[in-house]
Amino acid sequence: MITRTRVQAWDAPETMPGMADPGADPRIAVTSRCVSRDGRGWIPASGEIHYSRVDRERWRERLLLMRAGGIDVISTYVIWIHHETERGESSFSGNLDIAAFVELCAELDLPVIVRIGPWVHGEVRNGGLPDWVQGANVRHRTNDPDYLAMVREWFAKLGAELSPLCTATGSIIGIQIENELYDQPEHLRTLKQMAIESGMTAPIYTATAWGGADLPGNEFVPLYSGYGDGFWTDAAAPWDATFRQHFFFSDQWDDPGVGADVRDVAHSGVAPDVIATLPRNEAFPPATCELGGGMATTYHRRVVPSGADIAAVTNAKLGSGSMWQGYYMYAGGMNPAANLQESHSTAYPNDLPQFDYDFHAALGSAGDLASSHAPLRQQHAFLAAFGEQLTDMPASFPDQLPADLDDATTPRWAVRAHGGRGFIFINWHQPHIPLPDLPDVEFVVETSAGAVTPGDGEIAIAAGTIARWPFGLEVGGVPIRWATGSVLTLLDENDDDAMLVLMADGRDRDVLIATGGTTSTVHRVDAERGGRIVIEDGDSRAAVLVLGVQDAARAWVFEGATRRLVLSDEPVWIDQEQIVCRSAKLPRVREWLGDGWHDLSLEADAIGAGERGVSATVVAGGRKPRATYGAYNGRASAPGASSIAEGARVFQLGDVGLEQPGLRRVLRVSWAGDIAELAVDGVVVADRFWDGTPWSVDLDSLAGAEGSDVTLRVLALHPGASVRLPARAEDRRRSSSGALLALDSVVLATSTLWS
């Protein structure tokens, strides 16, 4: 099968829209093609974390892990209901100290996008509006003067916290106004002006553009989304086309599905029933703020995207020309108090856990790494090394595109290139509907410097392949004609020699690297083991390091004065130029030091790390569960507190230890059922809807969770409950002869820092 792409040039001259405050930071600019920083093209990788959903003592480590994952911009919602439950009684202390959070980001050299709402959604009650605002007799989210008066009062308080940080050298580089507002352009304009008057200024103002949002003029960078699956469809609904489209390369950026189920309840009432998909505003580059970094778990539909699912969507967006990779969420958390979640009781279409907002994000609510962390940090390492080049490379698509979303024979690929150099992006993965192997594919890229055919012929593309192959690069003055391994990064070796780092895309296909000009030498590297080759061209010398399949998932690339490449299965980061690792046991961390991999000698900060089982004694047997606890608009409702208290099986946990300096306790619960709750002295402090995955709880962030004062409640899942589960979880439910309830294991993992 021959598939061909002809490299296209930009189809319009570069322009610069005006949107920033006149006194804003001159270091950041947005043109019709890209974002620039200090005059150089930049593709930001922004990750969402909600300071109010993360214990303040965890902020620093979460941010360091985000930076270690290649995130270079922090995005955060300001959730009004968290700050001001009663009118006039606002709080900015403890976990709500947004100024301290932004200052910490600045200390760690992480710019910030604050998403100030006032309506944010975020699976929060009333979309984040306090009850006293939600209950007011006003037209919410419009220019109703009475509504604006309440928002102006709030913005003044928020501005008092943030305005000292909104300077030409401050870390706040962007402000998002509202969220998922479709037909109120003048309201968006008004809110922006109110924010500026309150001292909240930035070089970039953004607004969500999906769903055909009508944004005013060129005053906001329009940002898009990309979720491969989601909770906002019904339990019985098939995998929707609005999800499936994100696994394809395309010049279409709108997504009418995101937020569609809350438009009626969250809007002023004037939104149309059907939002038309609109073309992207060509005055701005294609950019995202909500690539699905995971997915929240609702009661009726419990989605668990795999790391490959998430990586495939983000790779497709990058290959389609994205100039800003923004993730929602990148780091999960917990609601700061009970009953702050979106729920049927507040006329929203979805019931969510009271506390849990893990989101199956790259960093879970307890700080664990999800399966998406590795492939995402690989993409971000690529952006750090080659992003500036990419900003000069528009996307080009094959002559033969997939016929429709069911096409499982036409290769899905795209090219970003300028002249004779660029990158081939390949996506041959999707969830739910397996793709077959493609045994014989010949990729042909027509460039101004001639045709490029990686592999010089037909290549096997295995199902699950997610790749970015280089062509036409120069490494240390040595031309690399093409390679069939994914680019990770570029390092400086000893004696200032350059080294390109590639990753194998699969065990069954060796990595081929063609070097030289018109007469190429093809080098072959084993995909399983990897290896390093040295290439020369005249007086120029360079190297290519190929990470084998196993090592690729362990790779971490740290940016700094000198770029560093490290292998570790455990979470690692750089803090004050020192490598730090969190683990319950002595970790193995290796660093590439020019002549090969070197094991680092690590010392523990505290004694007492390790893992042990925790006993769980049944103290209440629980009752037979109900098939339904009610429904709202056709979606199953979660059982209320009384139903859980009366029906759950209660386990008294054994000694879970005490909080100790230098150590951290995480409880890992493997279970099956419907809902689980953790209680301290009878008060529920954490909860989870079962979706087949283990549950990790940071005990040290829960007051009183120590010794033998912790109980676990598990409500069984009725075989006829109208909830959608992931395939493996559904298999377990079907294999149960009746109601499903099991506690497989409870483990206490006590970790420390190794440095």
pLDDT at 269: 46
pLDDT at 494: 61
Give 499's strand partners: 491, 543
Q: What is the pLDDT of residues 198-251, one digit of tens each?
A: 999 999 999 999 999 999 989 999 999 999 999 999 999 999 999 999 999 999
pLDDT at 104: 98
Q: What is the pLDDT of residues 561-587, one digit of tens each?
A: 899 999 999 999 999 999 999 999 999
CA angle 378, 380, 385 (to 5 degrees): 100
Count of Cβ atoms closer than 10 Å to residue 708 Cβ: 12
The Cα–Cα gap between 335 and 424 comes to 41
pLDDT exceeds cutoff 60 at 9: yes
pLDDT above 70 covers a percentage of the chain that reads: 96
Q: Name the DSSP class of 601.
A: P
pLDDT at 277: 63
Q: Name the average pLDDT for the chain.
A: 94
Sign of the CA dihedral 107, 110, 111, 116?
negative
pLDDT exceeds cutoff 90 at 434: yes
Domains in the chain: ranges and CATH: 15-388 (3.20.20.80), 395-599 (2.102.20), 610-754 (2.60.120)
Query: Given the DSSP bridges, would you call strands 288-292 and 221-226 parallel, antiparallel or unpaired?
Result: parallel
| Cβ burial 414-429 (10 Å sphere, 16+ → b, else e) | bbbbbebbbbbbbbbb
pLDDT exceeds cutoff 80 at 483: yes
The helix-helix angle for 145-162 and 98-107 (nearest 10°) equals 40
pLDDT exceeds cutoff 50 at 310: yes
Report residue 456's pLDDT band, with 50, 70 and 90 as the boundaries.
Answer: confident
The three-state secondary structure class of 424 is strand
The Cα–Cα gap between 482 and 299 comes to 48
Mean pLDDT of 358-381: 98
Q: What is the DSSP string of 288-324?
A: EEEEESS--B-SSBB----HHHHHHHHHHHHHTT-S-
Query: Given the DSSP bridges, would you call strands 356-357 and 683-689 parallel, antiparallel or unpaired?
Result: unpaired
Sequence-distant (6+) residues with CB within 8 A of 233 are 240, 257, 261, 301
Quick one: which H or E segment has residue 714? strand 710-715
pLDDT at 594: 86
Quick one: which H or E segment has residue 422? strand 421-428
The Cα–Cα gap between 583 and 754 comes to 7
pLDDT exceeds cutoff 60 at 286: yes
Per the listing, tokens 């483990």 go with 747
Q: What is the pLDDT of residues 85-132, one digit of tens each?
A: 999 999 999 999 999 999 999 999 999 999 999 999 999 999 999 999
What's the predicted TM-score (pTM) here? Answer: 0.97
Query: Do 42 and 34 meet the contact criterion of CB atoms below 8 Å apart?
Result: yes
Per the listing, tokens 């490449």 go with 565
The Cα–Cα gap between 72 and 45 comes to 6
Query: Do 457 and 484 meet the contact criterion of CB atoms below 8 Å apart?
Result: no
Mean pLDDT of 484-488: 97
Quick one: which H or E segment has residue 356? strand 356-357
Query: Do 453 and 511 meet the contact criterion of CB atoms below 8 Å apart?
Result: no
Sequence-distant (6+) residues with CB within 8 A of 556 are 68, 377, 565, 566, 567, 568, 572
pLDDT exceeds cutoff 60 at 22: no
pLDDT at 271: 45
As a 3-state breakdown, the chain gives helix, strand, coil percent values, each rounded to 5, of: 20, 35, 45
pLDDT exceeds cutoff 50 at 726: yes
pLDDT at 134: 97
Report residue 263's pLDDT band, with 50, 70 and 90 as the boundaries.
Answer: confident
Query: Do 656 and 321 meet the contact criterion of CB atoms below 8 Å apart?
Result: no
pLDDT at 517: 67
Omega of the bond prior to 13 within 30 degrees of 0, cis?
A: no
Omega of the bond prior to 329 within 30 degrees of 0, cis?
A: yes
Sequence-distant (6+) residues with CB within 8 A of 67 are 108, 109, 110, 573, 574
The Cα–Cα gap between 703 and 684 comes to 11
| Per-residue H/E/C for 212-260 | CCCCCCCCCEEEEEECCCCCCCCCCCCCCHHHHHHHCCCCCCCCCCCCH
pLDDT at 276: 54
pLDDT above 90 covers a percentage of the chain that reads: 89
pLDDT at 33: 96
The Cα–Cα gap between 750 and 746 comes to 13
Q: What is the pLDDT of residues 323-335, one digit of tens each?
A: 999 999 999 999 9
Q: What is the pLDDT of residues 582-629, one digit of tens each?
A: 999 999 999 999 889 999 999 999 999 999 999 999 999 999 999 999
Q: What is the pLDDT of residues 656-703, one digit of tens each?
A: 999 999 999 999 999 999 999 999 999 999 999 999 999 999 999 999
pLDDT exceeds cutoff 80 at 268: no
Long-range pairs of 60-64 with CB within 8 A, sequence gap ≥ 24? 60/104, 60/108, 61/367, 61/573, 61/582, 62/331, 62/363, 62/367, 63/104, 63/105, 63/108, 63/110, 64/108, 64/573, 64/574, 64/575, 64/580
Backbone angles phi, psi at 475, to 5 degrees: -120, 110
Whole-number Cα distances in Å, 194 to 168, 178, 202, 283: 20, 12, 13, 24
Report residue 24's pLDDT band, with 50, 70 and 90 as the boundaries.
Answer: low
